[in-house]
Protein backbone atom coordinates (compact mmCIF):
# COMPACT_ATOMS: atom_id res chain seq x y z
CA UNK A 1 0.00 0.00 0.00
CA UNK A 2 1.48 3.32 -1.07
CA UNK A 3 1.23 6.78 0.45
CA UNK A 4 2.53 9.99 -1.10
CA UNK A 5 4.30 12.09 1.55
CA UNK A 6 3.48 15.81 1.26
CA UNK A 7 6.82 17.20 2.48
CA UNK A 8 9.25 14.46 1.45
CA UNK A 9 7.57 14.38 -2.00
CA UNK A 10 8.08 10.66 -2.41
CA UNK A 11 5.69 7.75 -2.42
CA UNK A 12 6.37 5.11 0.25
CA UNK A 13 5.07 1.71 1.27
CA UNK A 14 2.91 2.22 4.37
CA UNK A 15 3.71 -1.20 5.86
CA UNK A 16 7.46 -0.71 5.44
CA UNK A 17 7.41 2.60 7.33
CA UNK A 18 5.13 1.18 10.05
CA UNK A 19 7.59 -1.69 10.46
CA UNK A 20 10.60 0.62 10.71
CA UNK A 21 8.81 2.70 13.33
CA UNK A 22 7.88 -0.41 15.29
CA UNK A 23 11.41 -1.78 15.26
CA UNK A 24 12.89 1.44 16.56
CA UNK A 25 10.08 1.73 19.12
CA UNK A 26 10.95 -1.68 20.59
CA UNK A 27 14.58 -0.64 20.96
CA UNK A 28 13.55 2.65 22.49
CA UNK A 29 11.42 0.95 25.14
CA UNK A 30 14.00 -1.74 25.88
CA UNK A 31 17.14 0.31 26.09
CA UNK A 32 16.06 3.90 26.63
CA UNK A 33 17.81 5.00 23.47
CA UNK A 34 15.85 7.30 21.17
CA UNK A 35 16.93 5.24 18.18
CA UNK A 36 17.96 8.29 16.14
CA UNK A 37 21.24 6.62 15.24
CA UNK A 38 19.23 3.77 13.71
CA UNK A 39 16.04 5.24 12.21
CA UNK A 40 17.72 7.98 10.19
CA UNK A 41 19.95 5.65 8.12
CA UNK A 42 16.98 3.28 7.68
CA UNK A 43 14.86 6.11 6.30
CA UNK A 44 17.65 7.00 3.86
CA UNK A 45 17.48 3.43 2.62
CA UNK A 46 13.71 3.72 2.20
CA UNK A 47 14.29 6.62 -0.19
CA UNK A 48 13.38 9.56 2.06
CA UNK A 49 15.49 12.68 1.38
CA UNK A 50 18.13 13.07 4.15
CA UNK A 51 16.92 16.46 5.41
CA UNK A 52 13.36 15.16 5.85
CA UNK A 53 14.56 11.89 7.38
CA UNK A 54 16.65 13.67 10.03
CA UNK A 55 13.93 16.17 10.95
CA UNK A 56 11.04 13.72 10.96
CA UNK A 57 12.80 11.03 12.97
CA UNK A 58 13.28 13.52 15.82
CA UNK A 59 9.51 13.99 15.89
CA UNK A 60 8.98 10.24 15.95
CA UNK A 61 11.48 9.85 18.80
CA UNK A 62 9.40 12.31 20.87
CA UNK A 63 6.37 10.04 20.48
CA UNK A 64 8.03 6.69 21.15
CA UNK A 65 10.08 8.08 24.04
CA UNK A 66 6.98 9.63 25.60
CA UNK A 67 5.07 6.37 25.28
CA UNK A 68 7.95 4.43 26.82
CA UNK A 69 8.43 7.06 29.55
CA UNK A 70 4.81 6.66 30.69
CA UNK A 71 5.45 2.93 31.04
CA UNK A 72 8.53 3.65 33.15
CA UNK A 73 6.73 6.27 35.24
CA UNK A 74 4.09 3.71 36.12
CA UNK A 75 6.87 1.36 37.18
CA UNK A 76 8.59 4.22 39.08
CA UNK A 77 11.87 3.77 37.26
CA UNK A 78 12.42 7.42 36.35
CA UNK A 79 14.71 9.64 38.40
CA UNK A 80 13.19 13.01 37.59
CA UNK A 81 15.68 14.91 39.74
CA UNK A 82 18.60 13.31 37.92
CA UNK A 83 16.86 13.75 34.57
CA UNK A 84 16.38 17.47 35.17
CA UNK A 85 20.04 17.98 36.08
CA UNK A 86 21.11 16.04 32.97
CA UNK A 87 18.66 18.02 30.85
CA UNK A 88 19.96 21.34 32.13
CA UNK A 89 23.47 20.27 31.17
CA UNK A 90 22.15 18.89 27.88
CA UNK A 91 20.52 22.13 26.77
CA UNK A 92 23.69 24.12 27.49
CA UNK A 93 25.62 21.41 25.64
CA UNK A 94 23.35 21.57 22.55
CA UNK A 95 23.87 25.30 22.36
CA UNK A 96 27.65 24.81 22.49
CA UNK A 97 27.39 21.88 20.05
CA UNK A 98 25.55 23.94 17.45
CA UNK A 99 28.27 26.58 17.69
CA UNK A 100 30.99 23.93 17.24
CA UNK A 101 29.01 22.43 14.33
CA UNK A 102 28.77 25.76 12.52
CA UNK A 103 32.44 26.50 13.16
CA UNK A 104 33.41 23.17 11.60
CA UNK A 105 30.96 23.62 8.76
CA UNK A 106 32.65 26.88 7.83
CA UNK A 107 35.87 24.89 7.50
CA UNK A 108 34.27 22.09 5.44
CA UNK A 109 34.53 18.39 6.22
CA UNK A 110 31.72 18.41 8.77
CA UNK A 111 30.30 15.19 7.23
CA UNK A 112 33.52 13.36 7.86
CA UNK A 113 33.69 14.59 11.43
CA UNK A 114 30.14 13.41 12.06
CA UNK A 115 30.86 9.96 10.63
CA UNK A 116 34.16 9.60 12.44
CA UNK A 117 32.64 10.64 15.76
CA UNK A 118 29.87 8.10 15.20
CA UNK A 119 32.39 5.32 14.61
CA UNK A 120 34.59 6.44 17.50
CA UNK A 121 31.81 6.82 20.05
CA UNK A 122 29.70 3.88 19.01
CA UNK A 123 32.82 1.72 18.93
CA UNK A 124 34.14 2.73 22.34
CA UNK A 125 30.79 2.76 24.07
CA UNK A 126 29.74 -0.54 22.48
CA UNK A 127 32.99 -2.34 23.26
CA UNK A 128 33.07 -1.04 26.83
CA UNK A 129 29.52 -2.09 27.55
CA UNK A 130 29.95 -5.45 25.90
CA UNK A 131 33.05 -6.40 27.90
CA UNK A 132 31.61 -5.13 31.15
CA UNK A 133 28.25 -6.86 30.81
CA UNK A 134 29.74 -10.17 29.68
CA UNK A 135 31.97 -10.07 32.77
CA UNK A 136 28.99 -9.26 34.97
CA UNK A 137 27.00 -12.12 33.48
CA UNK A 138 29.86 -14.59 33.96
CA UNK A 139 30.34 -13.45 37.54
CA UNK A 140 26.64 -14.04 38.24
CA UNK A 141 26.83 -17.55 36.77
CA UNK A 142 29.73 -18.63 38.96
CA UNK A 143 28.31 -20.55 41.91
CA UNK A 144 28.72 -18.85 45.25
CA UNK A 145 29.98 -15.65 43.66
CA UNK A 146 28.70 -12.48 45.22
CA UNK A 147 27.85 -9.48 43.07
CA UNK A 148 30.57 -6.90 43.30
CA UNK A 149 29.75 -4.11 45.70
CA UNK A 150 29.21 -0.72 44.22
CA UNK A 151 32.40 1.25 44.05
CA UNK A 152 32.87 4.48 45.83
CA UNK A 153 32.63 6.82 42.88
CA UNK A 154 34.87 9.82 42.48
CA UNK A 155 31.72 11.91 42.29
CA UNK A 156 31.18 11.54 46.02
CA UNK A 157 33.95 13.97 46.91
CA UNK A 158 32.61 17.01 45.00
CA UNK A 159 30.50 19.83 46.50
CA UNK A 160 26.84 20.67 45.68
CA UNK A 161 25.59 17.30 46.85
CA UNK A 162 22.08 16.31 45.90
CA UNK A 163 19.89 13.40 46.89
CA UNK A 164 18.73 11.33 43.90
CA UNK A 165 16.28 9.08 45.70
CA UNK A 166 15.11 6.89 42.83
CA UNK A 167 18.68 6.10 41.86
CA UNK A 168 19.68 5.68 45.51
CA UNK A 169 22.54 8.12 45.08
CA UNK A 170 23.73 11.01 47.17
CA UNK A 171 26.28 12.72 44.95
CA UNK A 172 27.30 16.13 43.73
CA UNK A 173 25.21 17.68 40.92
CA UNK A 174 28.37 18.56 39.00
CA UNK A 175 29.11 15.15 37.40
CA UNK A 176 25.56 14.68 35.99
CA UNK A 177 25.64 18.26 34.75
CA UNK A 178 28.94 17.58 32.97
CA UNK A 179 27.63 14.31 31.51
CA UNK A 180 24.52 16.09 30.23
CA UNK A 181 26.66 18.85 28.78
CA UNK A 182 29.06 16.57 26.90
CA UNK A 183 26.20 14.45 25.57
CA UNK A 184 24.42 17.64 24.49
CA UNK A 185 27.48 18.77 22.53
CA UNK A 186 27.76 15.36 20.87
CA UNK A 187 24.04 15.17 20.16
CA UNK A 188 24.02 18.51 18.41
CA UNK A 189 27.07 17.62 16.29
CA UNK A 190 25.88 14.13 15.41
CA UNK A 191 22.20 15.03 15.03
CA UNK A 192 20.85 12.46 17.49
CA UNK A 193 19.16 12.44 20.91
CA UNK A 194 22.29 11.01 22.46
CA UNK A 195 20.67 8.14 24.36
CA UNK A 196 23.30 5.64 23.27
CA UNK A 197 26.03 7.73 24.92
CA UNK A 198 23.88 8.89 27.82
CA UNK A 199 22.83 5.41 28.94
CA UNK A 200 26.37 4.01 29.41
CA UNK A 201 27.54 7.31 30.91
CA UNK A 202 24.82 7.10 33.57
CA UNK A 203 25.69 3.48 34.34
CA UNK A 204 29.47 3.74 34.39
CA UNK A 205 30.21 7.36 35.26
CA UNK A 206 27.36 8.13 37.64
CA UNK A 207 26.82 4.63 39.01
CA UNK A 208 23.06 4.65 38.50
CA UNK A 209 21.17 1.32 38.53
CA UNK A 210 20.43 0.10 34.97
CA UNK A 211 16.64 -0.09 35.46
CA UNK A 212 16.45 3.59 36.44
CA UNK A 213 18.85 4.69 33.73
CA UNK A 214 16.49 3.82 30.89
CA UNK A 215 13.49 5.80 32.12
CA UNK A 216 15.69 8.74 33.08
CA UNK A 217 17.39 8.78 29.68
CA UNK A 218 13.97 8.77 27.98
CA UNK A 219 12.91 11.69 30.17
CA UNK A 220 15.68 13.93 28.92
CA UNK A 221 15.59 12.66 25.31
CA UNK A 222 11.97 13.86 24.97
CA UNK A 223 12.96 17.44 25.70
CA UNK A 224 16.07 17.43 23.53
CA UNK A 225 14.28 15.93 20.50
CA UNK A 226 11.20 18.17 20.93
CA UNK A 227 13.55 21.15 20.82
CA UNK A 228 15.26 19.78 17.69
CA UNK A 229 11.93 19.08 15.97
CA UNK A 230 10.85 22.69 16.46
CA UNK A 231 14.19 23.89 15.17
CA UNK A 232 13.87 21.81 11.98
CA UNK A 233 10.21 22.74 11.45
CA UNK A 234 10.88 26.46 11.74
CA UNK A 235 14.19 26.76 9.88
CA UNK A 236 13.96 24.10 7.16
CA UNK A 237 10.28 23.07 6.98
CA UNK A 238 11.44 19.47 6.65
CA UNK A 239 9.22 17.75 9.23
CA UNK A 240 6.86 15.46 7.31
CA UNK A 241 3.83 14.95 9.51
CA UNK A 242 2.43 12.09 7.39
CA UNK A 243 5.72 10.22 7.60
CA UNK A 244 5.96 11.02 11.32
CA UNK A 245 2.46 9.66 11.97
CA UNK A 246 3.29 6.36 10.26
CA UNK A 247 6.54 6.04 12.20
CA UNK A 248 4.75 7.03 15.41
CA UNK A 249 1.95 4.51 14.93
CA UNK A 250 4.56 1.76 14.62
CA UNK A 251 6.82 3.34 17.22
CA UNK A 252 4.43 3.78 20.13
CA UNK A 253 3.26 0.18 19.88
CA UNK A 254 6.85 -0.99 19.58
CA UNK A 255 7.86 1.10 22.60
CA UNK A 256 5.18 -0.50 24.77
CA UNK A 257 6.37 -3.93 23.70
CA UNK A 258 9.97 -2.93 24.31
CA UNK A 259 9.28 -1.64 27.82
CA UNK A 260 7.71 -4.99 28.71
CA UNK A 261 10.47 -7.04 27.16
CA UNK A 262 13.02 -4.89 28.98
CA UNK A 263 11.24 -5.33 32.34
CA UNK A 264 11.51 -9.12 32.06
CA UNK A 265 15.16 -9.24 31.14
CA UNK A 266 18.24 -9.14 33.32
CA UNK A 267 20.09 -5.86 33.32
CA UNK A 268 23.26 -7.56 32.04
CA UNK A 269 21.40 -9.16 29.14
CA UNK A 270 19.90 -5.80 28.21
CA UNK A 271 23.33 -4.19 28.26
CA UNK A 272 24.86 -6.94 26.10
CA UNK A 273 22.10 -6.57 23.51
CA UNK A 274 22.45 -2.80 23.40
CA UNK A 275 26.23 -3.19 23.14
CA UNK A 276 25.87 -5.58 20.20
CA UNK A 277 23.44 -3.24 18.45
CA UNK A 278 25.73 -0.27 18.93
CA UNK A 279 28.72 -2.28 17.66
CA UNK A 280 26.74 -3.44 14.60
CA UNK A 281 25.84 0.12 13.62
CA UNK A 282 29.44 1.17 14.26
CA UNK A 283 30.76 -1.65 12.07
CA UNK A 284 28.37 -0.72 9.29
CA UNK A 285 29.53 2.91 9.36
CA UNK A 286 33.19 1.93 9.56
CA UNK A 287 32.83 -0.35 6.54
CA UNK A 288 31.23 2.50 4.63
CA UNK A 289 34.26 4.65 5.37
CA UNK A 290 36.85 2.01 4.46
CA UNK A 291 35.37 0.09 1.52
CA UNK A 292 35.47 1.55 -1.96
CA UNK A 293 31.93 2.76 -2.73
CA UNK A 294 30.33 1.44 -5.93
CA UNK A 295 29.45 5.00 -6.91
CA UNK A 296 32.09 7.62 -6.20
CA UNK A 297 29.68 10.50 -6.68
CA UNK A 298 26.71 11.59 -4.61
CA UNK A 299 23.89 13.80 -5.88
CA UNK A 300 21.90 15.95 -3.50
CA UNK A 301 18.94 17.92 -4.74
CA UNK A 302 18.98 21.35 -3.21
CA UNK A 303 15.49 22.19 -2.03
CA UNK A 304 14.43 25.72 -2.87
CA UNK A 305 14.14 27.76 0.31
CA UNK B 1 -13.05 9.38 -30.24
CA UNK B 2 -15.40 10.83 -32.84
CA UNK B 3 -14.77 14.31 -31.50
CA UNK B 4 -11.07 13.70 -31.57
CA UNK B 5 -11.22 12.54 -35.19
CA UNK B 6 -13.34 15.50 -36.15
CA UNK B 7 -10.81 17.79 -34.51
CA UNK B 8 -7.99 16.17 -36.43
CA UNK B 9 -9.86 16.43 -39.73
CA UNK B 10 -10.49 20.15 -39.21
CA UNK B 11 -6.88 20.59 -38.24
CA UNK B 12 -5.70 18.74 -41.31
CA UNK B 13 -7.84 20.94 -43.53
CA UNK B 14 -6.32 24.20 -42.32
CA UNK B 15 -3.53 25.79 -44.38
CA UNK B 16 -0.15 26.05 -42.62
CA UNK B 17 3.57 25.26 -42.84
CA UNK B 18 4.80 22.24 -44.78
CA UNK B 19 4.39 19.85 -41.86
CA UNK B 20 2.97 20.96 -38.56
CA UNK B 21 2.07 19.32 -35.22
CA UNK B 22 -1.44 19.18 -33.85
CA UNK B 23 -1.36 17.89 -30.29
CA UNK B 24 -3.64 16.27 -27.76
CA UNK B 25 -3.03 15.17 -24.19
CA UNK B 26 -5.12 12.73 -22.20
CA UNK B 27 -4.72 15.16 -19.29
CA UNK B 28 -2.90 18.44 -18.85
CA UNK B 29 -3.14 18.39 -15.06
CA UNK B 30 -1.80 15.73 -12.73
CA UNK B 31 -3.21 15.81 -9.21
CA UNK B 32 -1.05 14.34 -6.46
CA UNK B 33 -3.36 12.83 -3.89
CA UNK B 34 -2.39 10.86 -0.79
CA UNK B 35 -2.64 7.59 -2.69
CA UNK B 36 -0.76 8.85 -5.77
CA UNK B 37 1.53 6.16 -7.13
CA UNK B 38 2.47 7.42 -10.53
CA UNK B 39 0.45 8.46 -13.54
CA UNK B 40 0.20 7.51 -17.20
CA UNK B 41 -0.21 10.36 -19.62
CA UNK B 42 -1.22 9.71 -23.18
CA UNK B 43 0.38 12.15 -25.59
CA UNK B 44 -1.10 11.96 -29.09
CA UNK B 45 -1.29 14.12 -32.14
CA UNK B 46 -1.28 14.44 -35.88
CA UNK B 47 0.88 15.95 -38.56
CA UNK B 48 -0.92 18.54 -40.63
CA UNK B 49 0.42 19.18 -44.13
CA UNK B 50 -0.66 20.91 -47.34
CA UNK B 51 1.33 18.92 -49.84
CA UNK B 52 1.74 15.13 -49.90
CA UNK B 53 4.70 14.06 -47.73
CA UNK B 54 8.08 13.70 -49.44
CA UNK B 55 9.16 10.15 -50.35
CA UNK B 56 12.34 10.22 -48.24
CA UNK B 57 13.77 10.62 -45.69
CA UNK B 58 11.06 9.27 -43.39
CA UNK B 59 9.27 11.37 -40.80
CA UNK B 60 10.27 10.77 -37.18
CA UNK B 61 8.75 12.01 -33.90
CA UNK B 62 10.52 12.87 -30.63
CA UNK B 63 8.60 13.63 -27.43
CA UNK B 64 10.40 15.06 -24.37
CA UNK B 65 8.94 15.72 -20.92
CA UNK B 66 10.98 17.72 -18.43
CA UNK B 67 10.20 18.20 -14.75
CA UNK B 68 10.85 21.48 -12.91
CA UNK B 69 14.46 22.61 -12.64
CA UNK B 70 16.25 22.63 -9.29
CA UNK B 71 19.87 23.11 -8.24
CA UNK B 72 21.80 19.96 -7.28
CA UNK B 73 25.05 19.33 -5.46
CA UNK B 74 27.35 16.62 -6.78
CA UNK B 75 30.11 15.43 -4.46
CA UNK B 76 33.01 13.14 -5.24
CA UNK B 77 34.53 10.69 -2.81
CA UNK B 78 38.25 10.06 -2.59
CA UNK B 79 40.38 7.88 -0.41
CA UNK B 80 42.31 9.89 2.15
CA UNK B 81 44.35 8.13 4.84
CA UNK B 82 42.48 4.89 4.26
CA UNK B 83 38.95 6.22 4.42
CA UNK B 84 36.57 7.45 1.75
CA UNK B 85 35.66 11.08 2.21
CA UNK B 86 33.82 13.68 0.17
CA UNK B 87 36.44 15.84 -1.45
CA UNK B 88 35.41 17.94 -4.41
CA UNK B 89 31.99 19.50 -4.77
CA UNK B 90 30.25 20.77 -7.87
CA UNK B 91 27.03 22.75 -7.84
CA UNK B 92 24.74 22.20 -10.82
CA UNK B 93 22.66 25.37 -11.04
CA UNK B 94 19.59 23.78 -12.57
CA UNK B 95 18.83 20.17 -13.38
CA UNK B 96 15.38 18.80 -14.22
CA UNK B 97 13.88 16.62 -11.50
CA UNK B 98 12.64 14.32 -14.25
CA UNK B 99 13.44 14.03 -17.94
CA UNK B 100 12.13 11.51 -20.44
CA UNK B 101 12.73 11.26 -24.17
CA UNK B 102 10.39 9.05 -26.22
CA UNK B 103 11.10 8.58 -29.91
CA UNK B 104 10.09 6.59 -32.97
CA UNK B 105 13.66 5.29 -33.36
CA UNK B 106 17.25 5.54 -32.10
CA UNK B 107 17.85 9.20 -31.19
CA UNK B 108 21.25 9.53 -32.86
CA UNK B 109 19.78 8.34 -36.15
CA UNK B 110 16.77 10.62 -36.22
CA UNK B 111 18.39 13.81 -34.87
CA UNK B 112 21.71 15.31 -35.90
CA UNK B 113 24.17 16.59 -33.30
CA UNK B 114 23.69 20.16 -34.52
CA UNK B 115 19.93 19.98 -34.17
CA UNK B 116 20.33 18.36 -30.76
CA UNK B 117 22.54 21.26 -29.71
CA UNK B 118 20.05 23.83 -31.02
CA UNK B 119 16.93 22.31 -29.48
CA UNK B 120 18.53 20.63 -26.43
CA UNK B 121 16.72 17.34 -26.88
CA UNK B 122 18.99 14.59 -25.54
CA UNK B 123 19.48 14.34 -21.77
CA UNK B 124 23.06 15.71 -21.62
CA UNK B 125 22.14 18.58 -23.94
CA UNK B 126 19.00 19.38 -21.95
CA UNK B 127 21.08 19.76 -18.79
CA UNK B 128 23.75 21.85 -20.43
CA UNK B 129 21.15 24.07 -22.06
CA UNK B 130 19.75 25.55 -18.88
CA UNK B 131 22.64 27.93 -18.28
CA UNK B 132 24.86 25.61 -16.28
CA UNK B 133 28.54 26.37 -16.19
CA UNK B 134 29.86 22.93 -16.91
CA UNK B 135 33.34 23.56 -18.23
CA UNK B 136 35.80 21.26 -16.49
CA UNK B 137 32.91 19.53 -14.73
CA UNK B 138 32.25 16.78 -17.24
CA UNK B 139 32.73 14.01 -14.70
CA UNK B 140 30.24 15.61 -12.32
CA UNK B 141 27.55 16.13 -14.94
CA UNK B 142 28.14 12.58 -16.18
CA UNK B 143 27.73 11.33 -12.61
CA UNK B 144 24.50 13.28 -12.23
CA UNK B 145 23.16 11.73 -15.44
CA UNK B 146 24.31 8.26 -14.44
CA UNK B 147 22.80 8.40 -10.94
CA UNK B 148 19.47 9.91 -12.01
CA UNK B 149 19.23 7.46 -14.93
CA UNK B 150 19.78 4.56 -12.53
CA UNK B 151 16.96 5.94 -10.37
CA UNK B 152 14.67 6.03 -13.42
CA UNK B 153 14.39 9.82 -13.28
CA UNK B 154 16.19 10.38 -16.59
CA UNK B 155 15.30 7.98 -19.34
CA UNK B 156 15.28 7.26 -23.04
CA UNK B 157 12.37 5.35 -24.48
CA UNK B 158 13.46 4.75 -28.03
CA UNK B 159 10.73 3.31 -30.19
CA UNK B 160 8.03 4.20 -27.67
CA UNK B 161 6.28 6.59 -30.06
CA UNK B 162 3.92 4.97 -32.57
CA UNK B 163 3.66 6.76 -35.88
CA UNK B 164 1.01 5.68 -38.40
CA UNK B 165 1.21 6.57 -42.09
CA UNK B 166 3.47 9.51 -41.19
CA UNK B 167 0.43 11.31 -39.83
CA UNK B 168 -0.87 10.06 -36.50
CA UNK B 169 1.44 9.56 -33.54
CA UNK B 170 0.94 8.55 -29.93
CA UNK B 171 2.94 7.58 -26.87
CA UNK B 172 2.06 6.70 -23.29
CA UNK B 173 4.35 8.27 -20.73
CA UNK B 174 4.63 6.93 -17.21
CA UNK B 175 5.31 9.60 -14.60
CA UNK B 176 7.00 8.11 -11.51
CA UNK B 177 5.41 7.96 -8.07
CA UNK B 178 8.13 10.23 -6.63
CA UNK B 179 6.86 13.20 -8.56
CA UNK B 180 7.88 16.73 -7.69
CA UNK B 181 5.29 19.50 -8.01
CA UNK B 182 5.59 21.99 -10.81
CA UNK B 183 5.24 22.50 -14.52
CA UNK B 184 6.33 19.63 -16.75
CA UNK B 185 7.35 21.05 -20.09
CA UNK B 186 6.35 18.74 -22.92
CA UNK B 187 7.96 19.19 -26.33
CA UNK B 188 7.29 17.37 -29.58
CA UNK B 189 9.71 17.48 -32.49
CA UNK B 190 9.14 16.30 -36.06
CA UNK B 191 12.35 15.43 -37.88
CA UNK B 192 13.27 14.38 -41.38
CA UNK B 193 16.80 13.24 -42.15
CA UNK B 194 17.91 14.39 -38.70
CA UNK B 195 16.65 17.94 -39.16
CA UNK B 196 13.80 19.37 -37.09
CA UNK B 197 10.91 20.38 -39.36
CA UNK B 198 8.50 21.47 -36.63
CA UNK B 199 8.33 21.70 -32.85
CA UNK B 200 5.48 22.15 -30.43
CA UNK B 201 5.57 22.93 -26.73
CA UNK B 202 2.97 22.59 -24.00
CA UNK B 203 2.89 22.27 -20.22
CA UNK B 204 1.51 19.58 -17.95
CA UNK B 205 0.83 20.94 -14.50
CA UNK B 206 1.56 18.68 -11.55
CA UNK B 207 0.07 19.78 -8.25
CA UNK B 208 -0.67 18.40 -4.83
CA UNK B 209 -4.36 18.49 -3.97
CA UNK B 210 -6.52 18.05 -0.88
CA UNK B 211 -4.77 17.22 2.38
CA UNK B 212 -1.36 16.97 0.66
CA UNK B 213 -1.67 20.58 -0.50
CA UNK B 214 -2.98 21.74 2.87
CA UNK B 215 -0.18 20.12 4.89
CA UNK B 216 2.50 21.41 2.56
CA UNK B 217 1.21 24.99 2.74
CA UNK B 218 0.79 24.74 6.50
CA UNK B 219 4.40 23.60 6.94
CA UNK B 220 5.66 26.41 4.73
CA UNK B 221 3.51 29.30 5.93
CA UNK B 222 3.02 28.62 9.65
CA UNK B 223 6.15 26.69 10.47
CA UNK B 224 6.07 27.22 14.24
CA UNK B 225 2.42 26.20 14.54
CA UNK B 226 3.07 23.20 12.31
CA UNK B 227 6.00 22.14 14.50
CA UNK B 228 3.87 22.44 17.63
CA UNK B 229 1.13 20.41 15.96
CA UNK B 230 3.66 17.70 15.08
CA UNK B 231 4.86 17.62 18.69
CA UNK B 232 1.32 17.60 20.08
CA UNK B 233 0.45 14.67 17.82
CA UNK B 234 3.59 12.84 18.93
CA UNK B 235 2.82 13.29 22.63
CA UNK B 236 -0.84 12.40 22.12
CA UNK B 237 0.03 9.26 20.21
CA UNK B 238 2.56 8.23 22.85
CA UNK B 239 0.02 8.79 25.60
CA UNK B 240 -2.76 6.96 23.74
CA UNK B 241 -0.55 3.93 23.12
CA UNK B 242 0.56 3.86 26.74
CA UNK B 243 -3.08 4.02 27.84
CA UNK B 244 -4.14 1.34 25.40
CA UNK B 245 -1.45 -0.98 26.68
CA UNK B 246 -1.85 -0.10 30.36
CA UNK B 247 -4.04 -3.09 31.12
CA UNK B 248 -1.53 -5.47 29.59
CA UNK B 249 1.12 -5.48 32.29
CA UNK B 250 2.56 -8.91 32.69
Q: Under 8 Å CB-to-CB from B208, ≥6 apart: which residues?
A: A6, B31, B32, B181, B216
Q: Could you give the residue ranges of the DSSP H alpha helices within chain B? A: 2-13, 107-110, 113-119, 123-128, 138-150, 210-221, 223-244
Host H or E run for residue A278: helix A267-290
Q: Is the peptide bond before B57 cis (omega within 30 degrees of 0)?
A: yes
Does one domain contain both B112 and B198?
yes
pLDDT tens for residues A151-174?
Answer: 555 556 666 777 777 777 777 778
> Is residue A12 within 8 Å of A235, Cβ to Cβ?
no
Overall number of domains in chain B: 2
Chain B nearest-CA residue for A222 = B235
| Domain coverage including residue B113 | 2-208
Chain-centroid distance, C-alpha A62: 11
* Whole-structure pTM value: 0.72
CA gap A151, A147 in Å, rounded: 12
Residues of A whose CB is below 8 A from B132: none
Q: CB distance A296–B77 less than 8 Å?
A: yes
Q: CB distance B178–A9 less than 8 Å?
A: yes
CA gap A250, A13 in Å, rounded: 13
Closest Cβ–Cβ partner in A3, A7, A302 for B35: A3
CA gap B241, B250 in Å, rounded: 16
Alpha-carbon torsion B178, B181, B187, B188, what sign?
A: positive
Give the gyration radius of chain B's Cα atoms: 24
Host H or E run for residue B169: strand B168-175
In a domain, A296, yes or no: no
Does one domain contain both B75 and B20?
yes
Q: How many angstroms away from the CA of A220 is the closest CA of chain B?
A: 14
Does one domain contain both B157 and B199?
yes
Q: B interface mutation test: which of A113, A233, A236 has the most B CBs within 10 A?
A: A233
Q: CB distance B144–A112 less than 8 Å?
A: no
Kindly give the confidence (pLDDT) of every residue in chain B, 250 residues in length, as a single tens digit, with 9 standing for 90 and above: 555 555 555 555 444 467 787 877 777 777 787 777 777 888 888 888 877 777 778 888 888 888 888 888 887 877 877 777 777 777 777 788 889 888 888 888 888 888 888 888 888 878 776 655 555 667 788 888 888 888 888 888 888 888 888 888 888 888 887 778 888 888 888 888 888 888 888 888 888 888 888 888 888 888 889 989 999 998 998 888 778 777 655 4
Q: CB distance A239–B219 less than 8 Å?
A: yes
Overall number of domains in chain A: 1
Residues of B whose CB is below 8 A from A260: 248-249
Does one domain contain both B188 and B231?
no
Does one domain contain both B130 and B229?
no
The secondary structure of B78-120 as a DSSP string is EEETTEEEEEEEEEEEEEES-EEEEESS-HHHHS-HHHHHHHT
> Is residue A69 within 8 Å of A193, Cβ to Cβ?
no
Q: CB distance B83–A230 less than 8 Å?
A: no
ipTM of the complex as predicted: 0.75
Does one domain contain both B44 and B103?
yes
3-class DSSP state of A209: coil
CA gap A280, A289 in Å, rounded: 14
Q: B interface mutation test: which of A17, A24, A49, A67 has the most B CBs within 10 A?
A: A67
CA gap B235, B224 in Å, rounded: 17
How far apart, in Å, are the Cα atoms of A108 and each of A101, A126, A200?
10, 29, 31
| Domain coverage including residue A208 | 11-145+153-288
In a domain, A4, yes or no: no
Does one domain contain both B230 and B163?
no
Q: How many angstroms away from the CA of A231 is the closest CA of chain B?
A: 8
Of B190, B208, B226, the position where a domain reaches its end is: B208
**β-pairing, B83-96 with B19-25?**
unpaired
Q: Could you give the residue ranges of the DSSP H alpha helices within A191-240? A: 195-200, 210-235
Give the gyration radius of chain A's Cα atoms: 19
How far apart, in Å, are the Cα atoms of A175 and each of A56, A81, B105, B154, B200?
32, 14, 73, 56, 72
Amino acid sequence: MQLYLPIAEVSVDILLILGLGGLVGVLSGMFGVGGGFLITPLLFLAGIPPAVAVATSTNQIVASSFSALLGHLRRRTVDIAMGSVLLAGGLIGSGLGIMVFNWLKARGQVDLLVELSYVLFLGTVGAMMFIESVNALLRARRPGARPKRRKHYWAHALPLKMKFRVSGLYISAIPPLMVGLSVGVLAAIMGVGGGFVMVPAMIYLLGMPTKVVIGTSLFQIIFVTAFTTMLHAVTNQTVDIALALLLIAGGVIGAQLGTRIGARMKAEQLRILLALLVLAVCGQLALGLVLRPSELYVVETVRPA
Amino acid sequence: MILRLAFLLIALALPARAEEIVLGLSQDQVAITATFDGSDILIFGAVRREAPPPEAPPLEVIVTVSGPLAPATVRRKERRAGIWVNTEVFEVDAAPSFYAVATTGPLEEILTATEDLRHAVSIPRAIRAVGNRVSGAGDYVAALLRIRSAEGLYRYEEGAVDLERETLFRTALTLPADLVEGNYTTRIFLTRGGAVVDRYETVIGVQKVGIERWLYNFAQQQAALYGLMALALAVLAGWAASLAFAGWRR
